[in-house]
Amino acid sequence: MKLPKINILDEKNKTLRLTSKNVTFPLSEEDKKLINDIIQYLTMSQIEEYYKKYDLRPGMGLAFIQLGIPKNIFVIVEEVDEEEFKNYVIINPKMISHSEELIYVGEGEGCLSVNREVEGIVPRYARMRVSYQDIDGNQQEIRVREDISVAFQHEMDHLNGILFVDKIDKNNPFKDREKMREI
């Protein structure tokens, strides 16, 4: 596999604070190629042989805004089995509903745009339903839970100019931990 050329913006870049705009269909060939490049990049970043070879930080999600493109598109690549992946291409997402139960990632959330260790918990919904359009513009709905729910919320935040570090209480990074379930 060949590593696609992807330039991920660092958290200091003000572009990450922009609100992304809805996408019209059909998608441009450029957008389709970028979606495929992101899938390949995220997949390679999760395979030891490639992340060692190319010095990549493993990542499972990437929003277009992280590449400097303020479009409501994000991609998640989930490793479902050893080097077997499920891809989510989510365009123009909207949260329909969510659980009352809150969860957080025990070892902490990470982000390909945040190149530092961050202490603290990010409260997330344990489950949610999202409507979105697929790569062909068809209206879809998906119910996500646990780590995929966290990933969806993380990427949807990016589309609204929000980074996960914004959701950590600066004075008490582990605030209300006992009111949430660790995953």
Mean pLDDT of 134-152: 98
The residues carrying an active-site annotation are: 155
Distance CA 144, CA 149 (A): 5
Q: Is 163 helix (H, G, I), strand (E, B) or coil?
A: coil
Across the chain, mean pLDDT equals 96
Q: pLDDT tens digits, residue range 91-111?
A: 999 999 999 999 999 999 999
What pLDDT does residue 150 have? 98
Report residue 7's pLDDT band, with 50, 70 and 90 as the boundaries: very high
**What mean pLDDT comes out for the span 53-62?**
95
pTM of the model: 0.95
Residues above pLDDT 90, as percent of the chain: 98
Domains and CATH numbers, the chain: 14-182 (3.90.45.10)
